[in-house]
Structure formats: structure tokens, C-alpha cells
């Protein structure tokens, strides 16, 4: 489909959001990924989330590394600035961008090769620092663009399309994110838009490092029997612990679920999430318990999905650095240059 | 015959690293300066925190020579590990000050020097019981001894101690006491002053005494840098630390105590430059400070910044490579790796400051150039400039100066329907317009990428579109030639066929070498290159002379290669003069090397002799 120019017309009665925008206003260029690619479903979920939150597209900066997943920012939010940077280095570029202008929404898109192999270090340090961002890993356990090599998230014992068995143990990025201090951690499945869209919305509204690991099967190289990242395998082994029914902004909300089944999670910036618990044992505010729960289920071959951890009073890098409220890129000579009188004093102190 | 000299000699302190000698030695240097006599101190230190040998060399020169001289007139030998080498390094007729508490065999000395034994340890042990005090005050005691031996104004030393311990009376008294212990011992027990003496002069003027790293950091503050990302590496760490210090003093909002800066100590140099590029892409002024190994690590990102046209400022405080090399020794050795940093065809802007004052200037200009040219700009310092205090002109700032943010298209222009092509050369100077993220709801957004694209930033692998872009980048580099600081030319008093090209920290040694050469009747025109790409005057300077000496502090004549390559010069005409043992280049070295070449050139050709 990539040779087709994307048509601009749309149905006159397409639903509009608060800004008067339709879905089409949140789309980007036509995807050049393979037909049926899980990544395109994630793209659709991001578009849906931004539409539903009535985000102004140009207030979003989309930053990625290199790989199939990193191409996707070209396929959504066409009116946003995008930056397809260097393999494995999205987190540092995004950190810098975030420091320059704290007022934009930062969407970091990466893959398992990009973030678990070459970029594991940068991923880890962005989580540690609490950069206010949504960090989405489109995780297919395989290098797609270079045709099917294992990535570091491929499970030990899983088979490649060529029949090779992976002997290295897998990196669980959710576990690492939890350990390193991410204040919002979720896992979802590209094939489950109903679960993924509210998670993306919640992550956007979260202030701090929000990490989402999205299992996203590679239809070309990792969707066969023996793979643990195929559509069939993930569907069979998915253990959803909760479900975000809806996301709200700062307006009061009313819930008509039976008491005890829905937990209202208030975030630091005043937003609230309504969380429907599917597993009564699971506590989204207990980092250690979450790590334990996930590891335990992983050992039984189950993939835990849902909102796995959220820190209610999270802080971010700007808070740690005590930066001014105004974006740093909006400051000029007046705010930044101490002037000649101050320099004269400095000179005098150096004699 | 003992050397007799007033206000013109070299004192070298040999110490053990971590013994607290640095502040005492600096106190000595500052005291000389306060007497109105120029000094050029240099730290020669190991890559070590405690235990290995370290030296502090103070060149005292009323004539104002600030380059390293070479040789030692007075050795303050406080390190038994290096005793033999230190004693051997003293000039004939020179002096040796040592701790005479323990008797030394005569074979450990030389007959042609004056030996001055002061029982420092004995004085210390008599006075102090705490081992740490014994150690620290021993340093102050030898400064006191020197004050008597060199006939210094002890009042100036006391004033400096008072400034240092302002509000800490007890510490002031203790230090002053230790100073006089040494001074009094010399006055009572030996002939003083010696043949080397200090006399009050008026040769310092309004100059300031500052380390290049601190001046560069101030340049970044004045130049409007708001984001700094760095990874610790000698000799550049103190630049980022100085930026932090300056910002805490100069950039905190007085009303709400919030910071108008963001400093991140990153996990490595890749992340440092990534943060700089991300911040610059988003319209903030950002920089990193690093050294050679960091430059190597940043290569991939630097290519992205060149190709995607994102401003970035990199302070490279060079040290001796390759690999870990000699991390605490100076060299000018990253010229090629910065000029052509990254894979593919790249060229980068380099600035070559000569001293801290120019480092301040270039440190600020670098941000204007990076924004104007939308490309990385390297400020090429070295350890000699960065980590030593240097006497230089006061830092200067014109309050009417405005930051040049380059070609940034704002919402108004987009709204008015102005054609925006991120890589469209609208003005013919090779520099396109850019937009900051978040500028306009529907216009001016684009996708930044390291892959090839057309003039409107659309992905393409079409050969002509790629070549068109690469050609425009060359045009942009051509534009840079007239924007970067121009070379400074100084002609000899007499017409000459010979010229010399030099840059960076070689400056003070070069100035002195020229005087030495002229004194022996050898004249040279000189050109101090201050930036790459080279201004056309570099080519014309070379054209005007038969032979040009190119003075560098590296093995492979990197600047010469760059000139040959970029200006299309016959390499035969550029004679390399290379100093690369990790010590700062000296006037003696330059004058001797050039002198020998000139003598060789003067030999009458055989043809003429025969005819």
C-alpha cells in the first residue's frame, strides 16, 4: 500500500473531539510496515488515545531510535515534530528535548532491539531520572529490518523462523523499569486495543517516566509456532490483572460499578484513572509486589498485562533539577545573560 | 656561579599527589602575581588521587612570557620518589630547596648547584602532633621559607591567606603561624635572599588569573546555554563543574529560587551528546564538555547532527591520546577526529582559542555559530589552557549584544503562508530555515531523520536529491568561512620568505620564540589560525611565502593535513614542527626547531657553488 498517496477526504460525519478534530487530524503518513504488523495497531491506539484526550497534535514531540518500531512516528500525528534519531539513543535525545521545553508532551517510541540491546543503558537511565515521557516499546522479540535475528527480549528456548533455538535468557523490560524507578509501568498487547488505548491515555497524563511494554508480533519473522511473541502464543498466555475503564482529565467523575471492583487512582497532577481490578490480589501501588507477581507468572509462562505499577506522587526530572516554569527554550538574553556589570565583578575577584 | 636573576626564573615544586601541596603552591604563585610580577603556573600531575608524583611549575617573568620555558632554576624537592630526576633537572647554577631533617649522602647532590636545606619535618614535628596537620602545614612552611629566600613581600602572602580564610580566624592564624615558622627559620639560620629574587613591579596590569575551563563555562553562561549534559573525563570535568558553580551564582531566579538551567551528568558521552542534540533540536542552547575518548564515542551522533542540521556545542579539552594515552598531559590531538567526525562525508566547525580570555569569547560565540549554521561547533581547548591558571586580559561582554538564534521560522511567518522547506536553501547561503517543535497547529512540522530526504524533509533515496543536499551542506560550510573568527596575522619587521602557522595554546610559546629568533636575525611572518573552515587568508598567507612552518602539539601534523586537504596546498611547502611528549610546547623548542630548519635552508645549493 505504500505507493498509494493517502487520500485527504473523509466522511463528513466523522466524530469530532473537543478541539473539533477528527481521527484524520491525528494520522500521519501511510505506513511502510508489513501488512498486519502489530506496530500498526499500536499506531492506531496512539492515534485513538490522542484523539480521545483532545491533544493538540503540534504540542506533541515524537522521538524514536532506529528500527521498524522507530519508523512508526511518521505514521501518526502528522502535525507533530518527529525525530528519528540514532539506534538505541532515543532516550537521551528525548531527555534533551524535554529539558528544552517542559510544556510539550513527549512520546518516545522504541523497539526491543533499540531499547533492550543497543539502547539498554539509555533506557535504564531515562527511567532512573524520571524524564516526563511516554516510553513505548513495541516488543516483537526480533530484528525485523535486518530480517529475523533474535533480540534480547526473545525468550530462552523460543525458536526463530529459520528454526534456531534462542539460548540466551530474555530481558524483561517491565521488570527493569520497575526496578529502576519508573513511576508508571504497564504491559499490553498490540492486538488488544481495548486494553492498550486507555493505558496510553493514562501514560500521557502521568507526570514522570511512564513505560509501556507492548507485545507486538512480527508477522514476517516472529509469528510462527515456537515463537513466544506470536499472536496465538500471546493470546493464550495473556494474564490481564486489571483494566482501565476510562481515563479522565481533572473533571469530577462518576462510576457506576459495584463498590470494591473499581479503584479510583488519583495522580499527582490532579488527574484520575478508574481502574477495574481483574485480579483481587494485585496492588498497582506496590512496586515490590508487582515485581514479584510478574516474575512468578513469567516462570509459569504467563505474560502479565495491564497497568502494573503507578506511583501517585511521582516527580520528574524538571522537579529534581528545580528548573523554572517557563520552557528553557523561551528564555532570551534578558533572562540568561548576567551582563557586563556581573562580569566586571568576576574579573575583580580573579586578580 | 649561582644564577642571579630578578623576576625572571622558574620554580618547580616536586610533591606527592594528595599531600595538600596544590593550594600552598598556588598561594606562592598568587603572591608573586600580587607583587605585580607575571607568573605562568602549570600543574604536571598524574592520573591518580594519592601517592604518585606531581609537579607544579611556576614561571616568573616580568617580561610577561607565559609559555612553558623548560628547565628549573629553583627546585623545591619534596618528593623522595623523584629526587634523582628532580635534582638532575636543575639548570647549572640553580638552586635546590629540600627537607634537611634526615641527612642525605653527598652523592645525592650536585656540585654545580646551591643546596638549601631547611629541616621542614623537624620544624613540623616540634610544632604539631596531629599527622594531618604536620602534612598540610609543612607545605605552608616551605612557602614561608621561600618568602625569605626570594625576598618576597610576606604581607602579600598574609593578605592572600586572609582572603582565603575570610571569617575563619582560627585557620587564618594557624596558616600565618606556619608561614612564619618557615620564614623565621631561614632568616635566623641562613644567608638570604639567594641569587633569585622577587621585586615589586607593575607588569600585571588589569589582567586576571583564571583557568580556561572556568572561563569557557562562563562563556557558556553568557552565551545563553541552558542545557549542559556531560560525563566525567579529565581534563574536561572541571568545565562542567565550573558551569554548575557559575549557574548557581548567576542563573537562579532571584524571586522563586528556580534554576534557569538544567545540568545532567549523563551515563556516558553518547547520552551527553544525545541530550545536547535533543535540546538543541527543541530550541535550547546546549553543550557538552569532553576530551578525546568522548569525541570518539560521540561520532555517530555528530554525523546525525551534521546531516540533520542540528546545532550543538562541544568543548573538547584535549589530552594526550590515543586510547587512554596520557590523560593528564596536554596535546592538540583531536583536530582531525573533530574536523571530520563521524562516518560518511562530514566537516565540522572548529574554534581554536589561545587562552582563557579567548576561550570565554569563543565559548559564547560558539552558540551563535551553532544556531546560525545549524551544525555542531567544537571549541578546541587543551589541558594546558583548561586546567592551569593563566594570566590573561579581563573577560569582556558588550551589553548591547543579542544572541543570534539563526534562521528560525516563527508561527507568524508560517501563518502568513511562507513556504517552509526544512532543507530548502532560500537565501543561497546553504542555510535553510528550521522550526521549533510546537510552533504552529498545522504548519511547519517536519520529521527529522538521519536518513536521506528531499528539500521538504520527505524521506527519499533518490540519488539526485541526496547529492543536492550534500552539495548544499558544502555551500553552508563555505558560508561558515566568513562567519568564524578570522586568523590573526603578524608580520616580521623585515620582509621574509618564511612564515609560521600556529594555533591554540601554542600562542605564548610562539610569541616568545619569535623574539628569540629575531634576536638571532631570523625573521618570520606569522598567522594564528583561530577556526576551521579556514578563511581565504590562510591560503593567501601560504601563497605569499616560500615555506611555512606549522607548529602543532601532536605527532601527525593534523592541522597541516587539514590545510593541505582543504586548501589544496603542496605539502612540501608546509614544514611540520611537532611537539607531542605531553608537556606544553616551549619557546626554546620552537626556536631551536625552526632555527635548525632555517639554517638548513640557507645552505647554498650545490649548483650555485659549482658555477
State the helix-helix crossing angle for B120-127 and B169-189, rounded to 10 degrees. 130
Cα nearest neighbour of A106 on chain B: B437
Minimal Cα–Cα distance from A259 to chain B, Å?
A: 43
Task: Say which residues have a Cβ less than 8 Å from residue A242's Cβ, sequence separation at least 6.
Answer: A275, A276, A277, A278, A279, A282, A284, A306, A307
Cβ-Cβ pairs closer than 8 A, A with B, add up to 227
Cell of A121: 543503558
| A346 within domain boundaries | no
Nearest CA in chain A to B211: A350
Q: Are B437 and A63 inside 8 Å of each other by CB?
A: no
Measure the CA–CA gap between B275 and B278, rounded to whole angstroms: 5
Question: Which residue among A56, A324, A339 places its CB closest to the CB of B399?
Answer: A339
Mutate to test the interface with A, among B36, B275, B441, B443 (most CBs of A within 10 A): B275
- H/E stretch holding A52 reads helix A38-52
How far apart CA A109 and CA B440 sit, in angstroms, is 23
* Chain B closest-CA separation from residue A327 CA (Å): 9
pLDDT at B335 > cutoff 60: yes
Asked if A336 lies within 8 A of B256 by C-beta distance, the reply is no
The answer to whether A95 and A123 are in contact (CB under 8 A) is no
Nearest Cβ partner for A101 among B204, B283, B402: B283
CA distance B546 to B497: 5
Verify whether the Cβ–Cβ distance B267 to A337 is below 8 Å. Answer: no
Domain that holds residue A300: 23-335
Whole-number Å distance between alpha carbons of B559 and B352: 11
Looking at every residue in chain B, the average pLDDT score rounds to 96
Q: Give me the DSSP letters along B229-251.
A: EE---TTTHHHHHHHHHHHHHHS
Top CATH class, B5-197: alpha beta
Contact B68, B42 (CB under 8 A): yes
d(CA A347, CA B218): 11
Contacts of B260 in chain A (CB under 8 A): 323-324, 328, 331, 335-336
Alpha-helix runs per DSSP H in A101-172: 112, 120-129
Per-residue DSSP letter, A213 = E
**Band of the pLDDT at A253, cuts 50, 70, 90?**
low
How close is the nearest chain B Cα to the Cα of A74, in Å? 7
Q: Are strands B488-490 and B525-528 parallel, antiparallel or unpaired?
A: antiparallel
- Measured CA distances, A206 to A47, A157, A210, B485 (Å): 18, 36, 7, 47
Flag if B224 and A332 touch (Cβ within 8 Å).
yes
Residue A172's pLDDT is what?
95
| Chain A residues within 8 A of B270 when measuring between CB atoms | 89, 92, 122
Using the predicted structure, report yes or no on whether residue A281 has a pLDDT greater than 90.
no
CA A17 to chain B, closest CA, distance in angstroms equals 15
> Would you tell me which CATH number, out of the four given (3.40.50.920, 1.10.579.10, 2.40.50.140, 3.40.50.620), belongs to the domain B488-606?
3.40.50.920
Which cell is B275 given? 541530550
pLDDT band at A1 (very low <50, low <70, confident <90, very high): very low
Contacts for A351 with CB less than 8 Å, ≥ 6 apart: B204, B206, B207, B208, B209
A residues 40..79 contacting B (CB < 8 A): 56-59, 61, 63, 73-74, 78-79
* Residue B562 in grid coordinates: 587539514
Helix (H, G, I), strand (E, B) or coil at B214: helix
The confidence score (pLDDT) of residue B246 equals 98
Q: What is the pLDDT of residue B607?
A: 61
* Other Cβ atoms within 10 Å of B496 Cβ, number: 15
Mean pLDDT along residues B156-172: 95
Q: What's the sign of the alpha-carbon dihedral B528, B534, B536, B538?
A: positive
- pLDDT, position B42: 96
Are B5-197 and B488-606 the same fold in CATH? no
The answer to whether the CB of B23 falls within 8 A of the CB of B39 is no
The string of pLDDT tens digits covering residues A63-109 is 999 999 999 999 999 999 999 999 999 999 999 999 999 999 999 99
Chain B residue closest in CA terms to A342: B250
Q: What is the pLDDT of residues B476-496, one digit of tens each?
A: 999 999 999 999 999 999 999
What grid cell was written down for A262? 473499581
Which of A81, A85, A96 is facing B437, going by the closest CB pair?
A81
Residue carrying C-alpha cell 560521540: B298
ipTM for the whole complex: 0.95
Summarize pLDDT for B238-268 with one digit per residue, the tens. 999 999 999 999 999 999 999 999 999 999 9
Q: Does residue A83 sit at the B interface (CB-CB below 8 Å)?
A: yes
CB contact under 8 A, A122 and B267: yes
Looking up cell 501517585 gives: A312
CA dist B384 and B51 (Å) reads 23
Pick the CATH number of B210-392 from 3.40.50.970, 3.30.200.20, 3.90.110.10, 3.40.50.300: 3.40.50.970
Question: Which residues of chain B have a CB within 8 Å of the CB of A337?
Answer: 221-222, 224, 397
Nearest beta carbon to residue B222 from set A91, A329, A337: A337
Number of domains comprising chain A: 1
Q: Which phi and psi (to 5°) does residue A259 adopt?
A: -55, 145
- Segment A133-178, tens digit of pLDDT: 999 999 999 998 898 899 999 999 999 989 999 999 999 999 999 9
Q: What is the mean pLDDT of residues B321-345?
A: 97
CATH code where residue A303 lies:
3.40.50.970
Cα-trace Rg, chain A: 21
- How much is the CA Rg of chain B, to the nearest whole Å? 27
Specify the pairing of strand B349-351 against strand A242-247: unpaired
Shortest Cα distance from A150 to chain B (angstroms)?
24
Interchain contact, A340 vs B399, CB within 8 Å: yes
Nearest CA in chain B to A62: B447
Chain A residues touching residue B390 (CB < 8 angstroms): none
Q: Decide if B266 and A79 are in contact by the 8 Å CB cutoff.
A: no
A89 and B274 within 8 Å at the Cβ level: the answer is yes
Quick check: is A5 in a domain? no
Q: Is A80 close to B439, i.e. CB distance below 8 A?
A: no
Q: Does B449 sit within 8 Å of A343, measured CB to CB?
A: no
User: By the CB < 8 Å criterion, does A15 face chain B?
Assistant: no
Compute the average pLDDT of residues B60-65. 97
Cβ separation B445–A78 shorter than 8 A: yes
User: Is the CB of A96 less than 8 angstroms away from the CB of B449?
Assistant: no
Query: What pLDDT is recorded for position B45?
Result: 87
The Cα–Cα gap between B584 and B68 comes to 6
Arithmetic mean of pLDDT, B450-464: 96
In a domain, A345, yes or no: no
Domain ranges of chain B: 5-197, 210-392, 407-483, 488-606
Residue of B nearest to A84 (CA): B449
CB count, 10 Å around CB of A264? 11
What's the pTM?
0.95
Q: Do B226 and A350 touch (CB under 8 A)?
A: no
C-alpha distance from B237 to closest chain A C-alpha (Å): 19
Reading the block at residue B380, the C-alpha cell is: 578546541
User: What's the pLDDT at A154?
Assistant: 92
Residue A252 domain flag: yes
| pLDDT of A13 | 84
Least confidently predicted of A2-11, A189-198, B133-142: A2-11
Query: How many of the other CB atoms lie within 10 Å of CB of B477?
Result: 20
CA B171 to chain centre: 33
Compare CB distances from B224 to A59, A93, A336 and report the shortest one's residue: A336
Chain A from 185 to 224: CB within 8 A of any B CB: none
Query: Is the residue at A71 inside a domain?
Result: yes
Best A96, A118, A344 residue to mutate vs chain B (most B CBs within 10 Å): A96
Task: Name the closest residue on chain A to residue B33, using Cα atoms.
Answer: A351
Does A259 lie at the interface with B, CB-CB under 8 angstroms? no
Phi and psi of A135, rounded to 5°? -110, 105
- Nearest partner of B270 among A128, A95, A62, A83, judged by Cα: A95
Amino acid at each position: 500500500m505504500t505507493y498509494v498517496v493517502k487520500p485527504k477526504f473523509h466522511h463528513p460525519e466523522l466524530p469530532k473531539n473537543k478541539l473539533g478534530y477528527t481521527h484524520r487530524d491525528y494520522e500521519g503518513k501511510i505506513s511502510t510496515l508489513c501488512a498486519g504488523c502489530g506496530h500498526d495497531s499500536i499506531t492506531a491506539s496512539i492515534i485513538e488515545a490522542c484523539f480521545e484526550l483532545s491533544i493538540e497534535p503540534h504540542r506533541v514531540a515524537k522521538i524514536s531510535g532506529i528500527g521498524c518500531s522507530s519508523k512508526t512516528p511518521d505514521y501518526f500525528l502528522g502535525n507533530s515534530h518527529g525525530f528519528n534519531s540514532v539506534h538505541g539513543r532515543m532516550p537521551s535525545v528525548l531527555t534533551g528535548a524535554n529539558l528544552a521545553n517542559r510544556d510539550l508532551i513527549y512520546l518516545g517510541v522504541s523497539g526491543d532491539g533499540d531499547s533492550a540491546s543497543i539502547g539498554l543503558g539509555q533506557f535504564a537511565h531515562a527511567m532512573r531520572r524520571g524524564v516526563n515521557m511516554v516510553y513505548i516499546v513495541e516488543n516483537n522479540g526480533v530484528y525485523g529490518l535486518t530480517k529475523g535475528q533474535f533480540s534480547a527480549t526473545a525468550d530462552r528456548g523460543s525458536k526463530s523462523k529459520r528454526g534456531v533455538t534462542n539460548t540466551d535468557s530474555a530481558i524483561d523490560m517491565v521488570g527493569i523499569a520497575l526496578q529502576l524507578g519508573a513511576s508508571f509501568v504497564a504491559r499490553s498487547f498490540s492486538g488488544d486495543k481495548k486494553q492498550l488505548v486507555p493505558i496510553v491515555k493514562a501514560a500521557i497524563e502521568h507526570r514522570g517516566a511512564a513505560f509501556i511494554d507492548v507485545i507486538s508480533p512480527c508477522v514476517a519473522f516472529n509469528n510462527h509456532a515456537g515463537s513466544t511473541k506470536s499472536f496465538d502464543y500471546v493470546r493464550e498466555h495473556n494474564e490481564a490483572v486489571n483494566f482501565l475503564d476510562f481515563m479522565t482529565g481533572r473533571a469530577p467523575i462518576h462510576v457506576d460499578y459495584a463498590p470494591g471492583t473499581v479503584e479510583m487512582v488519583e495522580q499527582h497532577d490532579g488527574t484520575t484513572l478508574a481502574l477495574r481490578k481483574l485480579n483481587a490480589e494485585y496492588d498497582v501501588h506496590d512496586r515490590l509486589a508487582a515485581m514479584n507477581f510478574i516474575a512468578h507468572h513469567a516462570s509459569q509462562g504467563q505474560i502479565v498485562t495491564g497497568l502494573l505499577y503507578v506511583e501517585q506522587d511521582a516527580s520528574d526530572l524538571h522537579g529534581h533539577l528545580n528548573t523554572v516554569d517557563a520552557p528553557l527554550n523561551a528564555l532570551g538574553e534578558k533572562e540568561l545573560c548576567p551582563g557586563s556589570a556581573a562580569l566586571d565583578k568576576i574579573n575583580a575577584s580573579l586578580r | 656561579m649561582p644564577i642571579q636573576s630578578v623576576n625572571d626564573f622558574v620554580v618547580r615544586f616536586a610533591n606527592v599527589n594528595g599531600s595538600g601541596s596544590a593550594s600552598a603552591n598556588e598561594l606562592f604563585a598568587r603572591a608573586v602575581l600580587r607583587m605585580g610580577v607575571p607568573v605562568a603556573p602549570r600543574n604536571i600531575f598524574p592520573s591518580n588521587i594519592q601517592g604518585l608524583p606531581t609537579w607544579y611549575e611556576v614561571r616568573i617573568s616580568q617580561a610577561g612570557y607565559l609559555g612553558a620555558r623548560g628547565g628549573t632554576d629553583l627546585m623545591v624537592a619534596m618528593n623522595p620518589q623523584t629526587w634523582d630526576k628532580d635534582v638532575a633537572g636543575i639548570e647549572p647554577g640553580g638552586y635546590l630547596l629540600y627537607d634537611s631533617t634526615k641527612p642525605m649522602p653527598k652523592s645525592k647532590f650536585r656540585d654545580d648547584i646551591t643546596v638549601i636545606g631547611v629541616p621542614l619535618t623537624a620544624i613540623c614535628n616540634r610544632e604539631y602532633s596531629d599527622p594531618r596537620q604536620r602534612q598540610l602545614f609543612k607545605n605552608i612552611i616551605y612557602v614561608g621559607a621561600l618568602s625569605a629566600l626570594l625576598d618576597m613581600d610576606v604581607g602579600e602572602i598574609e593578605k592572600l591567606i586572609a582572603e582565603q580564610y575570610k571569617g575563619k580566624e582560627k585557620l587564618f592564624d594557624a596558616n600565618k603561624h606556619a608561614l612564619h615558622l618557615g620564614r623565621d627559620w631561614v632568616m635566623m639560620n641562613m644567608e638570604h635572599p639567594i641569587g633569585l629574587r622577587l621585586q615589586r613591579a607593575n607588569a600585571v596590569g588589569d589582567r586576571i588569573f583564571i583557568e580556561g575551563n572556568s572561563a569557557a563555562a562562563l562563556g557558556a553562561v553568557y552565551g545563553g546555554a541552558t542545557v549542559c549534559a556531560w560525563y566525567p573525563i579529565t581534563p574536561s570535568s572541571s568545565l562542567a563543574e565550573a558551569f554548575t558553580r557559575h549557574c548557581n551564582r548567576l542563573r537562579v531566579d532571584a524571586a522563586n529560587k528556580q534554576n534557569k538551567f538544567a545540568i545532567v551528568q549523563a551515563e556516558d558521552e553518547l547520552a551527553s551528546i544525545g541530550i545536547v542534540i535533543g535540546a538543541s533540536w527543541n530550541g535550547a542552547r546546549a553543550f557538552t564538555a569532553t576530551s578525546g575518548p568522548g569525541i570518539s564515542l560521540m561520532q555517530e551522533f555528530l554525523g546525525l547532527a551534521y546531516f540533520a542540521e542540528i546545532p550543538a556545542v562541544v568543548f573538547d579539552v584535549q589530552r594526550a591520546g590515543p586510547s587512554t594515552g596520557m590523560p593528564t598531559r596536554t596535546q592538540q590531538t583531536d583536530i582531525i577526529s573533530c574536523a571530520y567526525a563521524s562516518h560518511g562525508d562530514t566537516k565540522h566547525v572548529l574554534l581554536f582559542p589561545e587562552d582563557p580570555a579567548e576561550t570565554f569569547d569563543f565559548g559564547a560565540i560558539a552558540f551563535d555559530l551553532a544556531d546560525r549554521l545549524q551544525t555542531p561547533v567544537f571549541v578546541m581547548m587543551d589541558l594546558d589552557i583548561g586546567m592551569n591558571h593563566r594570566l590573561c586580559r579581563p573577560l569582556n561582554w558588550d551589553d548591547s549584544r543579542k544572541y543570534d538564534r539563526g534562521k528560525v521560522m516563527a508561527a507568524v511567518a508560517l501563518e502568513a503562508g511562507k513556504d517552509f522547506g526544512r532543507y530548502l536553501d532560500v537565501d543561497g547561503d546553504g542555510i535553510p530555515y528550521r522550526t521549533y517543535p510546537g510552533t504552529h497547529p498545522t504548519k511547519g512540522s517536519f520529521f527529522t531523520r538521519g536518513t536521506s530526504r528531499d528539500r521538504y524533509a520527505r524521506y527519499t533515496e533518490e540519488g539526485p536529491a541526496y547529492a543536492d543536499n550534500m552539495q548544499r551542506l558544502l555551500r553552508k560550510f563555505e558560508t561558515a568561512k566568513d562567519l568564524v573568527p578570522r586568523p590573526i596575522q603578524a608580520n616580521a619587521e623585515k620582509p621574509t620568505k618564511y612564515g609560521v602557522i600556529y594555533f591554540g595554546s601554542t600562542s605564548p610559546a610562539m610569541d616568545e620564540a619569535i623574539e628569540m629568533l629575531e634576536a638571532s636575525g631570523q625573521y618570520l611572518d606569522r598567522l594564528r589560525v583561530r577556526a576551521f573552515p579556514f578563511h581565504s587568508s590562510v591560503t593567501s598567507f601560504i601563497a605569499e611565502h616560500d615555506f611555512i612552518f606549522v607548529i602543532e602539539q601532536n605527532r601527525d601534523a593534523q592541522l597541516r593535513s587539514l590545510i593541505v586537504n582543504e586548501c589544496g596546498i603542496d605539502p612540501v611547502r608546509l614544514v611540520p614542527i611537532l611537539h607531542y611528549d605531553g608537556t606544553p610546547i616551549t619557546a626554546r623548542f620552537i626556536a631551536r626547531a625552526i632555527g635548525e630548519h632555517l639554517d638548513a635552508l640557507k645552505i647554498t645549493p650545490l649548483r650555485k657553488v659549482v658555477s
